[in-house]
A and B are shown apart, each in its own frame.
Chain A
Amino acid sequence: MLMHESDSDLRIPVQADDFADICKTVENICAKFPAKYWRDLEDRPASEHYPEAFVGALAEAGILGTIVPEALGGTELPVAAVATIMETIHACGCNGAVLIPQFELTLLVGAAGSEEMKATLLPKIAEGAATMLSFARLTREPNTSPASVSKTANGVTLSGSSARVVAPGRSDYMVVEAAEEGGRSLFLVDLADARNKGFAIEPLRELVVTNAADIRFDGLELSAKSRIGEAGAAPAILARTDVLRRILEASAAIGDGRFFSRRGAKYANERVVFGNPIGSYQGIQFPLARAHVEVEAAFIGLRKAVELFDAGRDAAIAASIARHLALDAAWNMADAAFTTHGGFAFAREYDIERKWRDVRAARLAPFPGEDDLKTIGVAQLGFTQLT
């Protein structure tokens, strides 16, 4: 049950120094988007929360094409590279949450999309032609009707709503998961085309900048070509993209942990109270040190998940372990840094409170941390009650 015999051939280097060049590129971009940029975004109406310039700079540098095949204009790097990108963005104090569905759907279209879809979409993504992807999962919320499709002569019509979809207003395309006869299926929706034909967006203001919006389809007509995979294929296709999502959410959390570890230690060294730097008091030092160890442990778990994923192995459990521990560790690190900053943690200019809220929110949305314990409990430990 607890053995990993089939993965005995995989090894992890004791130090991670892969993709140092990408790391540097991302750091240089992040340096152009300091804390003030992110604070100013928050001051705007929710409909203007999208970090347009930041995503544009990453797109221009080719970062969005990291997992697009070379033949279609991308750099075709392993997921380990994307994990490094997400970690670096968050470690720099920026927020790359809007990129997660982007990478997730790049993988999805590449793995399950039609040849025509790949040829149209992936080069645009690789060259950063503002082709954002947004992902509407089938959700069952109170007071909403889950998205469903029914067949027409030329394709399907899509109706129903989906809650808290990331960046639908800024996306050119969206993947929609909808119920139909025969199970849950996936469709690619050209949003430019859809906006005047039965598609509505309601941006949400939330605890943090999430760029989430509720969306509704009112009998939107889709051609047969918009289908990704066969009818009822969504669960099988999403099984792999879901693992990537967990890996990238874990990577972002590790980056957040690194941000708070650095900022917490810096302030603890600088701030003098009762005649000593407060970091010399174990009441301050120990929570920082303990959380730092937790971040390191989650990071090594993440590296295992990435190694398995890139080797084409089943990484679902490892990714769940990494995400579960990374979200917890990032929160403990954030909270330790918050306490270290005392009252100044509340002051917006210190940038602690914004990131602290970001980390707390990441444990809830877009998918609850609880999902990971369920995966570990069911898929690894064989508990039926957690399903």
Chain B
Amino acid sequence: MSEIPSFSIGEDYPEYRKSVAKLCEAFPGSYWRELEDQPPSGSYPTAFVQALTSAGYLAVLIPEEYGGGGKPVRAGAVILETIHRSGCSAGACHAQMYTMGTLLRHGSEAQKRQYLPKIASGELRLQAFGVTEPTTGSDTTQLKTRAEKRDGGYVVNGQKVWISRAAHSDLMLLLARTTPVEQVKKRADGISVFLVDMNEAKKNGMKIVPIDAMVNHNTTEIFFDDVWLPESSLIGQEGKGFKYILDGMNAERCLVSAEAIGNGRYFMDKAVAYTRAREGRGRNLQSIERTIADAFAKLDVADLMVRRAAAMFDAGVSCGAEANMGKFCSGEAVWACAEACLTAYGHDGLRSDRDVERKWRDSRMSRNSPVSPNMILNFVGQHVLGLPRSY
């Protein structure tokens, strides 16, 4: 047997940690607060995303032959962690990093040559991932958006919801049913992935409607009314799309978990500094100090869980359980950190100019998205503990 993959327990990729933190200094809390005050049309962190793109950070996972950095998922995770630890948010652009994975693994050579170099340079933004629908939620194989085969292409009808960054993306990966569910053996069959040219589709019956939400995640609803997609937009084989999407989910989980770890570190830095400053003033702070120490412990091991999952993914080892558990632990841990920090700040934490409440709102999402913690418990129950499927 070949050597067992391993992961660092220290500050790996120190060069990224340093340079990304430096870049983030130009985007302080006030930058993010002002974005939140804008209407949806102006709330996208354009300058921040431009800075990350110019520095090549969003292209690190694309192979060098297509103009990217050719780095493993763990490198991307460190970049995203550092962005969040620095008080910034990669929510507006992280999909540029991993959505291309489906194209990379399952696209034709022609598609890869056409799109990947432009995605790597930032000329084309692939930020949108159209999976979830109003009536299907986590039950992806029940999605209702139809792509019907016609001569030379497909006609798409249906609706997607919680599609982040769609208004700020040139391309979208779209999951749609190409064979009706009654005509397939397995529910997971008959679903296909398309790479949609958003600018063309917008002129052709696709409508994007922003959703006003608790967090500035530029999320939208998308309506498809007889939208024409040329045959060349199909990724891989027709009907195999669900499997293609699953492949990418573990990478996505490793990456967004790293963002949660970064947010957790941000909260710990702030909570510890704030509480230590208060220690000298005679208040008894032992209760909140224990709470902070407990959150710190949870964060530290969640970080290790995420590192392990990424190391397995990068080594090509099956990591469904590890990526799911890393996601679960990082979500729980960042929330423990967020709660500890908000509590440590007291009333001060409600003030927007402390940035705690904004980050606290952002962090709640780590326990819901992109996968429900209940679905993770279902996975662990069924596939790790060997219990019957419960849903």
Contacts and interface: CB of A to CB of B under 8 A. Distances in A.
A and B associate: yes
Contact of A279 (B7, B275, B377, B381): B381
Nearest to A287: B377
Interface stretch (B126-134, B144-152, B194-202, B283-291): B283-291
Most B C-beta atoms less than 10 A away, residue of A297, A372, A376:
A297
Given A292-B385, A376-B293, A2 B5 contact: no
A19 interface: no
Contact of B390 (A7, A282, A297, A325): A282
A325 B10 contact: no
B279 A383 contact: yes
Contacts of A264: 385
Contacts of A282: 374, 377-378, 390-391
A189 to B, nearest CB: 36
Interface string B312-333: 1001010000100100110000
Interface string A289-311: 11011001110110110011000
A385 B301 contact: no
B110 interface: no
Contacts of A280: 387-390
B276 A297 contact: no
Contacts of A5: 10-11, 14
B260 to A, nearest CB: 14
A321 B265 CA distance: 16
A356 B328 CA distance: 26
Given A2-B265, A9-B10, A304-B9, A385 B297 contact: no
B289 A289 contact: no
A144 interface: no
Given A279-B388, A297-B301, A325-B298, A11 B272 contact: no
A265 interface: yes
A10 B11 CA distance: 10
Contacts of B328: 293
A13 B272 contact: no
A261 B385 contact: yes
Contacts of B386: 265, 269
A288 interface: yes
A383 B376 CA distance: 35
Nearest to A386: B289
Nearest to A4: B10
B24 interface: no
A17 interface: yes
Contacts of A281: 390
A2 B11 CA distance: 10
Contact of A385 (B285, B302, B376, B380): B285
B10 A7 contact: yes
A300 to B, nearest CB: 4
Determine chain B's interface SS by DSSP, over half rule.
helix
A310 to B, nearest CB: 12
Interface residues of B, number: 56
Most A C-beta atoms less than 10 A away, residue of B7, B14, B293, B374:
B293
A384 B276 CA distance: 8
A40 to B, nearest CB: 31
A281 B378 CA distance: 10
Given A5-B14, A377-B290, A15 B387 contact: no
B300 interface: yes
Most B C-beta atoms less than 10 A away, residue of A9, A13, A281, A298:
A13
A196 interface: no
Given A269-B388, A279-B388, A383-B285, A285 B11 contact: no
B174 interface: no
A15 B8 contact: no
Most A C-beta atoms less than 10 A away, residue of B6, B275, B308, B387:
B387
Interface string A26-40: 000000000000000
Interface string A65-87: 00000000000000000000000
A264 B5 CA distance: 31
A11 B387 contact: no
Contacts of B275: 383
Given A279-B387, A381-B296, A383-B275, A293 B4 contact: no
Most A C-beta atoms less than 10 A away, residue of B290, B311, B378:
B290
Contact of A6 (B10, B284, B311, B387): B10
B262 to A, nearest CB: 11
5 contacts: A13-B4, A279-B388, A292-B380, A377-B289, A386-B286
Interface of B: 4-12, 14, 265, 268-269, 272, 275-276, 279, 284-286, 289-290, 292-294, 296-298, 300-302, 304-305, 308, 311-312, 315, 317, 322, 325, 328-329, 374, 376-378, 380-381, 384-391
Task: List the 9 closest A-B pairs by CB distance, nearest first.
Answer: A8-B10, A279-B387, A301-B301, A280-B388, A11-B6, A289-B380, A377-B293, A376-B293, A289-B381
Given A9-B10, A384-B279, 17 more contacts: A2-B269, A7-B10, A11-B7, A14-B7, A265-B386, A268-B387, A280-B387, A282-B378, A285-B387, A285-B390, A289-B387, A292-B380, A300-B304, A373-B293, A373-B294, A377-B290, A385-B284
